[in-house]
Structure 1
């Protein structure tokens, strides 16, 4: 009797286990787990830390490595500093370790020494206990003069901010996704000549990766600054990055063209994954907050460190994003005039936290209601409420 009961219990247990395994198998077929492959063509959207750091989340520590450029130093006066009139774009003339000196030829330039030092520091990645992701050098370019600069200068700041900036143009100039003026094009070409003057004989003359805001003035600045159309051999294809755009707001010059139009206008460019056909971010009645721009910059940097191996990177973006990147890495705030550039050295490393989500995962787009305009503002409805559904931006 006991053997019969024991046998039945074993049979029931085996049946239960088999049923559970079968059910689990069927569930995996019906609802397969979506895995992120850490695509190299993603710089915006969801932060990648949720995929590469399961369980307890890790934050990325992003820090400016000081001591390479004059722009890092507190004694450098930004109001009189001109990156084009300063030797080597502000690269500090200094001696490096004897190991680097012995490996370079006698005629090596200061940029050669700088590059060798960055490569040496990047070897920290090989020591796992340090948690270092690597080092990157970003050349942050602000676009040259475009037509909306002319418009603001002509109408005045208040009238421009509260009325004219919301128009597509004035019949003479087009401001929507403002393009470079002839002066702006010449300014970008001058930047190319200056770049060759400083870096033409070094390995840094051509960055390993070109990234651009999808606004026309940024793309054209990048093209002219590096002569991308006519350079031989052809450089790596530049990539349009949604999160490198200027702060989202009512300004029509900050709205982008459709994917189809951009693809036709800029055949040299690639697009990051999930780049939408139409502009999903621009609105006609509200502005993005500074904190939202900062989080957007952090997500861009996270993706750059976790998805790409390139170390020397040219980035054509805008004033608000440059300011946010400098803040995100702890760099002193350094105003960048129209058509200028600032180089920065960034170290990325893991920072273990006990929180269930990283800072970037808590990110949402945030908008201000309006610009507090009065009689000059016939467009914005003062009673309009901002949209509350932000899921579309996840």
Structure 2
């Protein structure tokens, strides 16, 4: 099996119940009622195979399928440019997102051994005496290699792109969860494709994994993150607290709550960066699950080191 195809546990974790969908809509309605305006999202059809209902996520190899693209990259980029050129960006925007999941971390190794025992026992601890998976676990050697495989895949797609300017399919804005496994995946994925000090990837709390209870989802403190990554070009969002004030040992964020948090990230992105048409977000399985819900995409499992592209239309309401 390919290293980026989701396993059965990934597929189960990607499912969102009808109850959670309704609760998300109820929470979002309350959230939007407090604001003067907000963006609503939908997926532009016919661009990527992952949005098709008959695409089997358990067999879909993103890299071998050239990211799942249906037309050519030329056609996609031309469509993106044309659509945005013919609308008022204060009211309608189109963006192409590449939603990447971090490579395998040490917590993923332990989770895969016994998913049920992980949820009930191991996820509340930091180690089994053999490996350490919390807080803020590192990538395994496989996780690093998965990111490097993505790097090679990106280079292939860029070379195959027939546009006169081959960089046209490369994102112009980069976001990441504050966890080391996400930031290190971004670094290894985009190494020598983009200049990180020039694009200044943005570390933001909104994109982090489901918050609470699981020790692997407690982040490092701000000074540690800054010391490791700011010299590489990363920027940390304003108001980012020194300690992880969101993580609690006795409460785990619900799917609807996480979806509202992801929605907040997208709202800010569309409000502040109308000219960035192609955006990369490196985060987590739970984050991507709710990002797809927010954007109106079908559920689609993404394995460690995997990625799903989404062509999005946003309308301001």
Same fold (TM over 0.5): yes
1-structure distance, mates of 2:75, 2:132: 46
State yes or no: 1:276 paired with 2:235.
no
Matched, 1:259 2:225: no
Q: Does 1:237 align with 2:216?
A: no
1:59 offset after TM fit, Å?
3.3
Q: Which residue of 2 aligns with 1:212?
A: 176
Corresponding residue SS for 1:171: coil
Spell out the pairing of 1:297-376 with structure 2 (5 A cutoff). 297-309=262-274, 310-351=276-317
Among 96, 104, 115, the residue aligned to 1:157 = 115
C-alpha displacement of 1:232 = 5.3
Q: Point out where structure 2 has 5 or more consecutive residues left out of the alignment.
A: 1-30
Aligned to 1:67: 46
**In 1: Cα distance, 2:309 partner to 2:124 partner:** 33
Q: What's the RMSD between the two structures over aligned residues?
A: 2.1
Task: Structure 1: give runs of 5+ residues left out of the alignment.
Answer: 1-46, 94-109, 352-394
- Counterpart of 2:107 in structure 1 is 148
SS in 1 for 2:309: strand
In structure 2, how many angstroms separate the alpha carbons of the residues matched to 1:151 and 1:79?
21
1:1-394 alignment, distance < 5 Å: 57-86=36-65, 88-93=66-71, 110-126=72-88, 132-154=91-113, 156-176=114-134, 177-200=136-159, 201=161, 202-227=166-191, 234-267=197-230, 268=232, 269-309=234-274, 310-351=276-317
Residues in 1 aligned to 2:220 and 2:292: alpha-carbon distance in whole angstroms: 28
Using a 3 Å threshold, how does the CA distance of structure 1 residues 123 and 48 change in structure 2: closer, same or farther?
farther
More helix by share: 2
CA distance in 2 between counterparts of 1:49 and 1:179 reads 40
Partner Cα distance (1:84, 1:233) in 2: 23
Q: Comparing 200-209 with 261-270, which one deviates more in the overlay?
A: 200-209
**1:204: how far off?**
3.4
Structure 2-normalised TM-score? 0.82
CA distance in 2, matches of 1:206, 1:283: 37
> Number of matched residues?
278
Residue 203 of structure 1 and its aligned partner are, at CA, apart by 2.3
Moved over 3 A (4+): 47-50, 230-235
Answer yes or no: is the 8 Å Cα contact 2:38–2:267 preserved in 1: no
Cα deviation 1:214-265 (Å, max 9, x = unaligned): 011111111101116x855854111101010000121111110011000011
Deviations 1:101-143 (A, max 9, x none): xxxxxxxxx21221121010012333x8xx7331111100011
Larger radius of gyration: 1
| Distance change in 2, residues 1:296/1:233 (3 Å) | closer
Question: What TM-score, normalized by structure 1, do the two folds share?
Answer: 0.67
User: Which protein has greater RCO, CA pairs closer than 8 Å, 6+ apart?
Assistant: 2
More displaced stretch, 157-166 vs 285-294:
157-166
Q: Is the 8 A contact 1:133 1:305 kept in 2?
A: no
